């Protein structure tokens, strides 16, 4: 699990380094370190999805160019040596408005607050309550159908896969894979010393 999830983190970081205005999600999907790892290491199974702005999750890479002010979520899910690794992060594309910055920061905080209470004996609903409380106190809401992706209602695009917000408002998400230990939790997909410095609140 540790090896698989570290590789998943490295793949996500490679994608993050490619995020900038004018780049297409297809081009991010074809970043050489990602392609190399997916071809050689993840030959058993892999998925790398891109979700922009109002897309909640499961966005399929395409030829749309990222624009200055967009936010984009990169979600990496891999299956390697019989185990799964999964994580995602939402990134800023160029100069992003204040409301979007706050959305992404709050979403990151929701994840951090939830992780902080994970230990043996904690109920799943307690984790959800932490996330919902922090989002609500920040003037945001949680998508119930996807267990915490940033806004309330969703609808499906004709591709039958891409979920978007019904009101067209932006959505952000962050995910980690966690290992519950005897005393607490280990974040298997934690940021590495080499991870790109893309979140101002972590500086």
> Could you give the CA distance from residue 13 to residue 86 in angstroms, rounded to a whole number?
13
pLDDT of residue 65: 87
pLDDT of residue 35: 60
The DSSP letter of residue 186 is: E
Rg (CA), the chain: 16
Instruction: Give first-to-last CA distance, the chain, whole Å.
Output: 28
pLDDT of residue 181: 93
pLDDT of residue 147: 52
Q: Using DSSP bridges, classify how beta strands 163-165 and 55-57 pair: parallel, antiparallel or unpaired.
A: antiparallel
pLDDT of residue 188: 97
Domains (ranges, CATH) in the chain? 2-191 (3.90.230.10)
pLDDT of residue 57: 53
The distance between the two most distant Cα atoms of the chain, rounded to a whole number of Å, is: 47
Q: Using DSSP bridges, classify how beta strands 45-52 and 71-80 pair: parallel, antiparallel or unpaired.
A: antiparallel
Q: What is the mean pLDDT of each run of 10 residues along the chain (203 residues)?
A: 92 92 86 58 42 54 83 85 88 92 95 96 92 93 56 55 62 90 94 96 88
pLDDT of residue 41: 43
pTM of the predicted model as reported, rounded to 2 decimal places: 0.81
pLDDT of residue 78: 84
For residue 76, with 0-12 CB atoms within 10 Å meaning exposed, 13-18 middle and 19 or more buried, which class applies? buried
């Amino acid at each position: 699990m540790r090896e698989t999830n570290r590789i998943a983190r490295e793949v996500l970081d490679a994608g993050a380094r490619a995020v900038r205005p004018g780049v297409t999600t297809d081009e991010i999907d074809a970043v050489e370190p990602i392609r190399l790892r997916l071809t050689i290491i993840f030959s058993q199974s892999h998925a790398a999805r891109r979700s922009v702005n109002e897309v909640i999750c499961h966005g399929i890479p395409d030829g749309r160019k990222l624009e200055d002010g967009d936010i984009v979520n990169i979600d990496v899910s891999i299956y390697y040596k019989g185990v799964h690794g999964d994580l995602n992060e939402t990134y800023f594309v160029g100069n992003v408005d204040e409301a979007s910055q706050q959305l992404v920061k709050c979403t990151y905080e929701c994840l951090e607050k939830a992780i902080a209470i994970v230990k043996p004996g904690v109920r799943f609903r307690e984790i959800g309550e932490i996330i919902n409380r922090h989002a609500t106190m920040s003037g945001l809401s949680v998508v119930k159908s996807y267990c915490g992706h940033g806004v309330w209602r969703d609808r499906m695009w004709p591709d039958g896969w891409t979920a978007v917000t019904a009101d067209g408002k932006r959505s952000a998400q962050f995910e980690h894979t966690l290992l519950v230990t005897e005393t607490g939790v280990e974040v298997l997909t934690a940021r590495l010393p080499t991870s790109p410095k893309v979140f101002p609140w972590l500086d």
